[in-house]
Amino acid sequence: MLRNGCLAILMLTLGLPFGVAQGQMLDARRLGMGGVVTSDVGDYTGSNIAFRAVPKGTGGSGSIPLPLGLIQYLADHPTFDSKDSTFNIYEVANVLLNPPLTIKLWQPSEVTGDISIFVAQDSLKVDLADVKRVIPKDSMKQGGVFHVGGFSKSFGKVFLAMSPLIHVKNELTLSDNLRDALRDAVPFTGNTRYGLKDEARAQAAISFQVGYALRALYRPSPDEGQNADPRRNGSTSLYLGAAPKYLLGLAYGDAHSIAGATTGDTLFAGSNPVTIDMDTQTRHAVVGGDGGMGSGLGSDVGAVLYWRNFELGLGLNDFGSQIRWSTTVRRHAYDDSTNQFTTTEVASGERFVSRIPVTTTVNVAKRIGRTTIAADVVNGDFRTSMHAGAEFWFGMLALRSGLSRDQNKMAQFAGGAGYRLGKIGIDLAIATNSRNIERERGAELSASLSLY
């Protein structure tokens, strides 16, 4: 029983950050520029729907990742067998946080080392040693909005799209006392509550979208000539895009939990030295089950302005997106006196509206000849990241560099090169990141093909 509980806690605690894996960039051109997005670098249309209307320029129109990291992974990967003496759940979590699609040049040292616990009748001290690295100073926040796969088809300025949408978020907060005890090896004391709070939410839907993107303003430049690329022809152009979406809700669930253990006068005196409190309220609806499917509306909107080869873009994804559900609400409480959980149905068929958080992307770029200098700020659920980068072309060779501030508020650095062969180019990038359970800096080598 305890063993199952341990594994469940392990997976819950370490599995939650998996959503952060979305930070992994497989486009080596974009990665080499610090992960910056512009209308011709990065995900092109995913960040700003107005980019769809901008004519294809010389900067590229797409990329094909080369997952060289799989070779490295096949040659050397952690064991998934918990019975194996080398099994390390932190290494496994890092594989999921960092799918082995890029070559890992260096990674934080693995979490290892002995853990010491001192127990006396009125004293408990836990020294986690190296494991302290995985316990954050603040609450653990993970999540994001994921548009997984799907397809779209353009008909001139109009496009149709359908894609699965998944939104997950979790925030786990340790009480100051518990955090100090685990992070700083502060001894547990009597008459103290060691608690934690967790706020979790997940929802899945299918998005059906009809969009329209157009050039709303155009003032030609005297230097424009035959160059139709507004990024480099000096014209003043404004592109707008909007795509309302219908959201077919497949499942929704949230849980608000608090739990704690309050010590008595003496830590290990008597048969019941601590008082446990646990209280969770859940709300859920699922297609084919309680509440059935949900439905809602949302939109993606965007705009991008070009002026004298300067680009300023604003994209809002999932703007105003929300889904209506018929939910079942339950409360699960632990009774310390009886040592039992009781589950109470608080409501059935209760109307509930969930929100899909907005992802806002603001980007700026300046093209000078064949050189691009760019920066962006991306604000989403729980995270704000900033990127800046530059690309310099020398004939068929491109050199790139960039830096970013990632979701762990750490500065990251990148550099790369590319070589263009007609309509296709090959790109390599080396970049640092903190996509690991230790939230420490590592570095990766990414390779991809660019389509021009």
Partner 1 sequence: MRRLIPIALLLPLLVGCGNRNLILTIDILSFMDPGSRTVNYGPIPPTPSDTVEVFSDSLNLLQGISDVTRVMSASLDVAASFDNASGAATGEVLIYFAAADSTNPFTTTPIASIPFQLLAGQITNVSTHIEASPALAEVLTHDRAKVGLRIIFNGTSFPILGVETLTKLTATVIMKKDL
Binding site for partner 1 (CB under 8 A): 1-3, 5-7, 9-10, 13, 82, 85-91, 110-124, 126, 128, 131, 182, 194, 261, 268, 271-276, 336, 339
Least distance to partner 1 from the beta carbon of 168, Å?
Answer: 22
Q: What is the DSSP string of 224-293?
A: -TT---TTTS--EEEEEEEEEEEEEEEEEEEEEEEEEEEE-SSTT-SS--EEEEEEEEEEEEETTSTB--
DSSP code, position 18: G
141, 170 Cβ separation under 8 angstroms: yes
Burial of 206 from C-beta contacts in 10 A (0-12 / 13-18 / 19+): middle
Least distance to partner 1 from the beta carbon of 17, Å?
Answer: 15
User: In which residue are the tokens 């954050």 written?
Assistant: 136
What stretches of 264-339 adopt beta strand conformation (E)?
274-286, 294-307, 310-335
Closest to partner 1 by CB, 209 or 263: 263
Closest to partner 1 by CB, 290 or 336: 336
**How many angstroms separate the first and last alpha carbons of the chain?**
58
Closest to partner 1 by CB, 117 or 353: 117
Closest to partner 1 by CB, 87 or 341: 87
Least distance to partner 1 from the beta carbon of 131, Å?
Answer: 5
Q: Count how many Cα atoms sit within 13 Å of the Cα of residue 87 in the half-sphere of its side chain.
A: 7
Closest to partner 1 by CB, 96 or 410: 96
Least distance to partner 1 from the beta carbon of 112, Å?
Answer: 5
Closest to partner 1 by CB, 61 or 191: 191
Distance, in Å, from the CA atom of 168 to the CA atom of 170, rounded to the nearest integer, reads 7
Least distance to partner 1 from the beta carbon of 342, Å?
Answer: 17
Least distance to partner 1 from the beta carbon of 88, Å?
Answer: 4
Least distance to partner 1 from the beta carbon of 437, Å?
Answer: 10
Distance, in Å, from the CA atom of 201 to the CA atom of 124, rounded to the nearest integer, reads 34
Q: For residue 265, report the phi and psi dihedrals to the nearest 5 degrees.
A: -60, -40
Distance, in Å, from the CA atom of 293 to the CA atom of 87, rounded to the nearest integer, reads 40
Residues in a beta bridge with 345 = 330
Least distance to partner 1 from the beta carbon of 80, Å?
Answer: 12
Closest to partner 1 by CB, 223 or 279: 279
Distance, in Å, from the CA atom of 62 to the CA atom of 80, rounded to the nearest integer, reads 35
Distance, in Å, from the CA atom of 381 to the CA atom of 363, rounded to the nearest integer, reads 18
Least distance to partner 1 from the beta carbon of 121, Å?
Answer: 4
Least distance to partner 1 from the beta carbon of 169, Å?
Answer: 22
Distance, in Å, from the CA atom of 192 to the CA atom of 274, rounded to the nearest integer, reads 10
Closest to partner 1 by CB, 113 or 289: 113
406, 441 Cβ separation under 8 angstroms: no
DSSP code, position 361: E
Between helix 89-97 and helix 2-15 the angle, nearest 10°, is 30
Closest to partner 1 by CB, 86 or 226: 86
Q: Could you give the C-alpha distances from 135 to 11, 57, 180, 395, 426, in angstroms and in order? A: 15, 46, 10, 49, 40
Sign (positive/negative) of CA torsion 31, 34, 40, 45?
positive
